[in-house]
């Protein structure tokens, strides 16, 4: 468990003496800056460095800690955040198994959690959890609609054996079968695995028309490369966890022609002018690529960008009820998230309600294709 303070805003001695520092908002960020999901966590951490010093006129203290892609570490950090740092909100993790583990601490402590992964929780267990990524069901809708246009009737599944892979299978399979697409064989692998030779061989031998790979970051390239090495010639799809240049950097020619579902932020300039998220998506890309270079944009850093938009709307609402650093403020902030109404983000139009802590419409997902090492929007 590694503690990183990208920026801790400290009030001057005079302000501290007056007690003004007690009114600062404290955000606890938990992200996989190391470990198998670091390809997702590092971009998020990079964008957190770009956050403003004030949000909605309120000074903000940001504490960033590395969960190392380990749920046990995530829980330890979350408990420290609520017990010692008295954070007003927890943000993270990008790794779904870690986000799921953190959610119990969020519930027990009465601290809102903005998850940067599509974490699915049992009914009644997400009162304190709000998701910024598109749900797997929303993204499955986009994938299946594209498969229908391609005339695909059979699809194999090669995905993580953890919560991210399993929830994708649970959402995708019934939707695909309803659309007349047979799902199988189903093969799984662990995030830390360095080979999927056996799984790839079984899928290549079965030869479905398409294969859906459910993996993340640079780890998404490995199973696809294994499939091509086993001479699989069909169509390969990837999920929004693979919407990063790491897919092309690691996979090279093996991933050419791959279809990847994504939120709109990655495709900012390619969005039609009528798309409600185009403006915010362009702002995100310009901000991130100015700091980290052309082509560095990705699905995950955009969630950190969108977090600021959420806080800009929620803080004024919560501050009417209580002061930061108190249980009353944490509860007020949670309630404020449900009162934001229609909110345009770089990744779509969000509308959290008391009944829905996901908030995106089924049409939010955008299909893109790897062409000459670049993502291109599918028309």
What residue spans define the domains of the chain?
A: 2-134+285-361, 136-262
Phi, psi of 261 (to 5 degrees): -90, 145
Query: In terms of Cα–Cα distance, which of 70, 65, 134 is closest to 98?
Result: 70
- Can you read off the two tokens belonging to residue 373? 């090492």
Whole-number pLDDT of residue 378: 86
According to DSSP, the β-strands at 58-66 and 154-160 are: unpaired
Per-residue pLDDT for the chain (379 aa), expressed as one digit of tens each? Answer: 555 554 443 333 333 333 334 479 999 999 999 999 999 999 999 999 999 999 999 999 999 999 999 999 999 999 999 999 999 999 999 999 999 999 999 999 999 999 999 999 988 899 999 999 999 999 999 999 999 999 999 999 999 999 899 999 999 999 999 999 999 999 999 999 999 999 999 999 999 999 999 999 889 999 999 999 999 999 999 999 999 889 999 999 999 999 999 999 999 999 989 999 999 999 999 999 999 999 899 999 999 999 999 999 999 999 999 999 999 999 999 999 999 999 999 999 999 999 999 999 888 999 999 999 999 988 7
348 close to 359: Cβ distance less than 8 angstroms: no
Same fold for the pair 2-134+285-361 and 136-262: yes
Fold of 2-134+285-361: Rossmann fold (3.40.50)
62 close to 27: Cβ distance less than 8 angstroms: yes
Q: How far apart are the first and last CA of the chain?
A: 44
Distance CA 288, CA 286 (A): 6
CATH for 136-262 is 3.40.50.2300
Distance CA 346, CA 276 (A): 9
Give me the half-sphere count of Cα atoms (radius 13 Å) on the Cβ side of residue 177: 7
Phi, psi of 263 (to 5 degrees): -75, 165
In the chain the beta strands, taken as DSSP E runs, fall at 2-7, 25-31, 54-55, 58-66, 89-92, 112-115, 129-131, 154-160, 182-189, 210-214, 235-238, 259-262, 343-345, 348-350, 366-371, 374-377
Distance CA 281, CA 309 (A): 12
Whole-number pLDDT of residue 88: 98
267 close to 240: Cβ distance less than 8 angstroms: no
Distance CA 137, CA 135 (A): 5
Sign of the Cα torsion 102, 107, 112, 118 reads: positive
- Can you read off the two tokens belonging to residue 283? 């702002």
Whole-number pLDDT of residue 123: 85
44 close to 302: Cβ distance less than 8 angstroms: no
CA–chain centroid gap for 44, Å, is: 9
- Can you read off the two tokens belonging to residue 13? 């001695």
Distance CA 254, CA 256 (A): 6
Distance CA 158, CA 145 (A): 20
Long-range contacts of 14-19 (CB under 8 A, 24+ apart): none
Q: How many residues does the chain have?
A: 379
286-307 in b/e burial notation, b at 16+ Cβ within 10 A? ebbeeebeeebbbbbbbbbbbb
């Amino acid at each position: 468990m590694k503690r990183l303070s990208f920026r801790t805003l400290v009030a001057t001695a005079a302000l501290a003496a007056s007690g003004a520092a007690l009114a600062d908002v404290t955000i606890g960020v938990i992200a996989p800056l190391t470990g198998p999901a670091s390809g997702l966590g590092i971009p998020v951490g990079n964008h957190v460095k770009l956050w403003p010093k004030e949000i909605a006129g309120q000074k903000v203290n940001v504490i960033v800690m590395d969960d190392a892609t380990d749920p046990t570490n995530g829980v330890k950090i979350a408990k420290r955040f609520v017990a010692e740092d008295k954070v007003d909100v927890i943000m993270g993790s990008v790794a779904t198994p870690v986000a799921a583990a953190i959610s119990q601490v969020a519930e027990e402590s009465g601290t809102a959690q903005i998850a940067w992964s599509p974490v699915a929780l049992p009914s009644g267990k997400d009162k304190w959890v709000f998701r910024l990524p598109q749900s797997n069901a929303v993204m499955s809708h986009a994938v299946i609609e594209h498969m229908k246009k391609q005339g695909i009737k059979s699809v194999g599944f090669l995905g993580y054996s953890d919560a991210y892979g399993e929830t994708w299978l649970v959402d995708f399979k019934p939707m695909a079968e309803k659309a007349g697409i047979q799902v199988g064989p189903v093969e799984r692998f662990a995030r830390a695995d360095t080979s999927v030779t056996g799984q790839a061989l079984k899928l290549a031998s079965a030869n479905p028309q398409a294969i859906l790979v459910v993996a993340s970051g640079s780890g998404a390239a490995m199973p696809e490369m294994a499939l091509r090495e086993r001479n699989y010639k069909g169509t390969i799809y990837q999920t929004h966890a693979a919407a990063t240049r790491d897919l092309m950097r690691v996979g090279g020619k093996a991933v050419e022609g791959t279809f990847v579902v994504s939120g709109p932020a990655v495709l900012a300039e390619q969005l039609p002018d009528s798309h409600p998220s185009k403006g915010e998506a362009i702002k995100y890309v310009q901000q991130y690529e100015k700091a980290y270079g052309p082509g560095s944009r990705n699905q995950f850093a955009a969630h950190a960008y969108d977090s600021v938009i959420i806080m800009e709307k929620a803080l004024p609402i919560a501050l009417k009820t209580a002061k930061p650093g108190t249980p009353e403020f944490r509860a007020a902030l949670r309630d404020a998230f449900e009162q934001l109404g229609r909110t345009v983000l770089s990744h779509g139009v969000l509308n959290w309600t008391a009944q829905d802590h996901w908030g995106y419409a089924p049409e939010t997902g955008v299909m893109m294709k790897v062409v000459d090492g670049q993502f291109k929007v599918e028309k």
